[in-house]
Chain A
Amino acid sequence: MAATVTNILLCGIGGQGVLTAAELLARGAVAVGHDVKKTEVAGMAQRGGVVTSHLRFGPEVLAPAIPAGEADILLGFEAAEALRWIGQVREGGAIVVNALHLKPPVVHQGLFDYPDDPIGLMRAKGLTVRTLDARAIAEDLGNLKLVNTIMVGAVADHLPLAPETLRTQIVETFRARKPALADLNGRAFDAGRAAGADASALGEPQVVAG
């Protein structure tokens, strides 16, 4: 069973678009005929808390959540959040992380420390971590809300789905809901994909931002 099901764990912070990214990936999987289960814990997570979304697809998906340690892909929207969930990734799994450092109020209040280099800590475990600066790409494109599509683009070449199919699905989804943003999201996907392909496993940007 596990061999035929693809498990993608998306993680980040409430408000970053993690759930939207998971939805876009899920629609891509449905479009090519997969069984899909996508789960997240909403509710209080909306208020700047930890958000995770589990996306599973394949011929038949049973349990709603990814079994411990069986994530094939980790798509992290924030560096420390990726570090938080790194143990969920199976050996040899792909790790794509937005190299953003978002410190929560409890860190600013001096109650906890934010790790100096969360990506370095992941790499110190011997993991290959691909990073990109999704916020900078979104700023270049003029809309911070594009981070989710950029992140989907960044992981597109690591999925058992054709990137072109996924792109078409995303553009069509936006054309149906927010037509003015359809082409922009297509460009965001492309920019994310290019960043994901270029992303060096070494010497990544370390972005410190709000």
Chain B
Amino acid sequence: MNALTDVQSGSRALLSGNEAVARAVWEAGATLATAYPGTPSTEILEVLARYPDVDAQWAVNEKVSLEVAIGGSLAGARTFCAMKHVGMNVAADALMSQTLAGVNGGLVIAIADDVGLSSSQNEQDSRYWGRFAHLPILEPADADEARAFTLAAYELSEQFNCPVILRLTTRVCHVKTVVTVGERLTMDNKGFIRDPRRWVMLPSNAKVMLPRQAERDVGLAAHAETSDLTTILPGDDASLGVIASGPAALSVREALPDAPILKLGLTHPIPVARIRAFAETVDQVLVVEETEPLVEQEVRAAGLTVIGKDLLPRHGELSVAVLRHALAVLRGETETPDTVAAAAGPDPTVFPRPPTMCPGCPHLTPFYCLSKLRKALLISGDIGCYTLGAGHPWQAMDTCTCMGASLTLAHGLAAAKGEADAKKGVVAVIGDSTFLHMGMQGLLNLVYNRANVTVMILDNRTVAMTGGQEHPGTGFDIHGDEAPRVDFAALVQAMGVKPERVHAIDPYDLPALFSLIRTETQVPEVSVIITNQPCVLTDRHVPHPALTVDEEACTGCGSCINTGCPAIEVTRRETTVTKAGHKKDLAFVRIDSAFCTGCNACVETCAPDAIVPLAPEAHPRLQRV
């Protein structure tokens, strides 16, 4: 037990949106919850795993996760599934068919949209799934609503016999606020109902379901007109009324405290009659939604005149500053708060501080090697910490699209490369969890089609970018209990990669790794290189004694900086003239021994052997920050 699960019914707790959703799933009596980690949704399942009586499981990908949750619903239990926005692209196959069949136990799917793109490859508006799959969309504005709406979602799911989508955004998931929590409901398992006409989606059965889906649309539209998830926040100034949803509705309230607001909690289907009635009480209507104009278009289709994305941005967060600026533009004020907003943004003269790999990260050397072989390669990347390999100093990534696409894009690059690239080798770089998520199919396809790609599986035994979750390659489950661990070398051989083309290697052995990558990229068939050192942020990583730089010996060549290790720092720069008369910039370095993990990767890059172990007595006995 812990602080979160100990919170007594009726008490106030400071919870994030993710924690509140988890609490509500538990309160709703759900017994099965699944997810694949993805920012900003990850913590929902991590928190759920701490509650008793809920079987929380990491799934290998979102499609698998949703299908397990669907199966649990069919078995008669209330179930739950969480994912980030792009996860539903993977899971959509299951969603689009199950929406016809419906559910047995309540099924709630939380989709977390990364509005503002803090940690994603795109910005999607998941509310489209409501329209596409004929399902209700609930949009809480903060953690307190996230809890209430999750409970309401289970009621709706069972009332309308369909999955319900809880649409979250970063500013719900990662915002903590005060939430009043409740007790867990006692839900009896309904039992599986044997009914192939309902659960077996043969064309003949699905055909019967289509009119029922249309009836459900009508029922949901009627429900939207009375749903208490949609509320009016009264205001005295009727010159402008606002239709808003999600956290943006709260920002509207702050930016425009006197405006009446129709706050939509159920945003698909929209309550057309309520919107019409609201519009009659105000002079003008502004629609504020993140991010696409879904509500706006439906309101316009209903024949109402509104202001929307013609005024407001179509991407990013609709913050108070953005809204104030838009309102000033609307009022035709010349002196807009835009200048205030710009001045309050980050100081543009301060250097950028992009995310970096960690000191001693086992991904440093693979990208160091790839950067040295850059001209001879096309490098296809994937989703994870190692996507940082696209940045400085390595700049060793040519493509990155979506989970698993490193192998398949590499496949296409290798199969169709033109004359200019004919001599280039093609490398796919993917992490352990991403490989299991959606990379395996690509490898099978490579082998089957006798392609020529070198696949690097950077196995750091965790889902690192989302904070270190377990997966089938780690040997542990979400509770930290032992679980069967996949053997990557055996797996790829089972898919047909020749045993002599499969190499497990210690990435800290830089010369061996470099030589292996160079050799395998010249072999005209599928090779798999598996690096085998764990993420330095996990308990599996064992640090070695820290290193330091012998200042007398350092020649300022700067080679070690090219590993990208953030523990290496430049102490001074000089310019010298070589014997051949060329100017040469020198950068003398030190190592911050408090951060150094003693991985020795930089030692191999140092020609004058200036990087040496720190004398044990000089080692600061401090915990690393």
Q: Is B321 an interface residue (CB 8 A)?
A: yes
Contact A109 B176, CB 8 Å, known A30-B12, A42-B40: no
Which segment, of A43-51, A155-163, A185-193, A196-204, faces chain B?
Answer: A43-51
Contact A43 B39, CB 8 Å, known A26-B176, A83-B350, A210-B592: yes
The CA of A40 and the CA of B254, in the complex, are separated in Å by 19
A106 to B625, Cβ gap below 8 A? no
Contact A49 B176, CB 8 Å, known A63-B250, A106-B392, A209-B592: no
Q: Is B178 an interface residue (CB 8 A)?
A: yes
Chain B binding surface, main DSSP class: loop
Q: Which residue of B is nearest A148, CB measured?
A: B625
A68 to B176, Cβ gap below 8 A? no
Q: Is A130 an interface residue (CB 8 A)?
A: no
**B51, chain A: closest CB distance, angstroms:** 18
Q: Is B319 an interface residue (CB 8 A)?
A: yes
A64 to B3, Cβ gap below 8 A? no
Q: Which residue of A is nearest B569, CB measured?
A: A108
A46 to B253, Cβ gap below 8 A? no
Contact A144 B624, CB 8 Å, known A47-B356, A88-B344: yes
The CA of A67 and the CA of B344, in the complex, are separated in Å by 9
The one of B247, B344, B346, B385 that contacts A63, using a Cβ cutoff of 8 Å: B247
**A110, chain B: closest CB distance, angstroms:** 7
Q: Is A150 an interface residue (CB 8 A)?
A: no
Which residues in B have their C-beta under 8 angstroms from that of A145?
Answer: 623, 625
Contact A37 B175, CB 8 Å, known A43-B118, A44-B119, A109-B561: yes
Q: Is B142 an interface residue (CB 8 A)?
A: yes
**A172, chain B: closest CB distance, angstroms:** 11
Residues 50-86 of A contacting B (Cβ, < 8 Å): 50, 61-65, 67-70, 80-81, 83-86
The CA of A210 and the CA of B351, in the complex, are separated in Å by 17
The one of B118, B176, B319 that contacts A37, using a Cβ cutoff of 8 Å: B176
A48 to B142, Cβ gap below 8 A? no
The CA of A209 and the CA of B595, in the complex, are separated in Å by 11
Per-position 1/0 for A9-29, Cβ under 8 A of B: 000011111000001001100
Q: Which residue of A is nearest B587, CB measured?
A: A110
Residues 578-625 of B contacting A (Cβ, < 8 Å): 585, 587, 589, 592, 594-595, 620-625
The CA of A64 and the CA of B175, in the complex, are separated in Å by 7
A49 to B14, Cβ gap below 8 A? no
B118 to A63, Cβ gap below 8 A? no
Which residues in B have their C-beta under 8 angstroms from that of A15?
Answer: 625
Q: Is A87 an interface residue (CB 8 A)?
A: yes
Q: Is B64 an interface residue (CB 8 A)?
A: no
Q: Is A147 an interface residue (CB 8 A)?
A: yes
Which residues in B have their C-beta under 8 angstroms from that of A36?
Answer: 14, 176-178
The one of B174, B255, B352 that contacts A106, using a Cβ cutoff of 8 Å: B352
Which residues in A have their C-beta under 8 angstroms from that of B621?
Answer: 142
A105 to B356, Cβ gap below 8 A? yes
Contact A49 B354, CB 8 Å, known A42-B40, A177-B3, A209-B592: yes
B254 to A1, Cβ gap below 8 A? yes
Q: Is B116 an interface residue (CB 8 A)?
A: yes
Q: Is A180 an interface residue (CB 8 A)?
A: no
Which residues in B have their C-beta under 8 angstroms from that of A183?
Answer: none
A27 to B393, Cβ gap below 8 A? no
Q: Is B230 an interface residue (CB 8 A)?
A: no
Contact A87 B344, CB 8 Å, known A35-B178, A47-B357, A108-B568: yes
**A183, chain B: closest CB distance, angstroms:** 17
Residues 114-148 of A contacting B (Cβ, < 8 Å): 114-115, 118, 139, 142-145, 147
The one of A13, A26, A68 that contacts B320, using a Cβ cutoff of 8 Å: A68
Contact A65 B171, CB 8 Å, known A17-B625, A30-B14: yes
Q: Which residue of B is nearest A139, CB measured?
A: B622
**B316, chain A: closest CB distance, angstroms:** 12
Contact A147 B118, CB 8 Å, known A48-B355, A106-B353: no
Contact A69 B340, CB 8 Å, known A13-B353, A63-B247, A64-B250: yes
Which residues in B have their C-beta under 8 angstroms from that of A16?
Answer: 625
Q: Is B481 an interface residue (CB 8 A)?
A: no
B573 to A110, Cβ gap below 8 A? yes
Which residues in A have their C-beta under 8 angstroms from that of B142?
Answer: 37, 64
**A16, chain B: closest CB distance, angstroms:** 6
Q: Is B496 an interface residue (CB 8 A)?
A: no
A39 to B174, Cβ gap below 8 A? yes
Per-position 1/0 for B376-415, Cβ under 8 A of A: 0000000001001000110000000000000000000000
Which of A15, A17, A63, A209 has the most B CB atoms < 10 Å from its CB? A63
Residues 471-521 of B contacting A (Cβ, < 8 Å): none
**A117, chain B: closest CB distance, angstroms:** 13
**B501, chain A: closest CB distance, angstroms:** 32
Which residues in B have their C-beta under 8 angstroms from that of A104?
Answer: 351, 353-354, 356, 566
Q: Is B234 an interface residue (CB 8 A)?
A: no
Which of A13, A45, A109, A111 has the most B CB atoms < 10 Å from its CB? A109
B358 to A47, Cβ gap below 8 A? yes
Contact A39 B355, CB 8 Å, known A105-B566, A109-B393: no
Which residues in B have their C-beta under 8 angstroms from that of A209?
Answer: 592
Contact A85 B319, CB 8 Å, known A15-B625, A40-B174, A145-B623: no
Which residues in B have their C-beta under 8 angstroms from that of A83?
Answer: 347, 350
Contact A69 B344, CB 8 Å, known A45-B118, A49-B355, A109-B561: yes
Which residues in B have their C-beta under 8 angstroms from that of A70?
Answer: 344
Contact A27 B14, CB 8 Å, known A14-B355, A87-B347: yes
Q: Which residue of B is nearest A35, CB measured?
A: B178
Which residues in A have their C-beta under 8 angstroms from that of B114?
Answer: 43
Which residues in A have their C-beta under 8 angstroms from that of B344?
Answer: 68-70, 87-88
The CA of A46 and the CA of B353, in the complex, are separated in Å by 12
**B295, chain A: closest CB distance, angstroms:** 20
**A133, chain B: closest CB distance, angstroms:** 15
Per-position 1/0 for B153-183, Cβ under 8 A of A: 0000000000000000011001111100000
Contact A68 B247, CB 8 Å, known A44-B465, A104-B353: no
The CA of A113 and the CA of B349, in the complex, are separated in Å by 10
Q: Is A167 an interface residue (CB 8 A)?
A: no
Contact A42 B354, CB 8 Å, known A68-B340, A110-B585, A144-B594: no
Which residues in A have their C-beta under 8 angstroms from that of B622?
Answer: 139, 142-144
Which residues in A have their C-beta under 8 angstroms from that of B251?
Answer: 62-65
Q: Is A41 an interface residue (CB 8 A)?
A: yes
Interchain Cβ contacts under 8 Å between A and B, 15 examples: A35-B178, A41-B116, A44-B119, A48-B355, A50-B346, A63-B254, A65-B251, A67-B320, A69-B344, A88-B344, A105-B561, A105-B564, A106-B351, A108-B569, A144-B625
Interface contacts beyond A42-B39, A47-B385, A139-B622: sample of 4 additional A-B pairs, CB < 8 Å, sorted by A: A84-B347, A104-B351, A108-B589, A115-B350
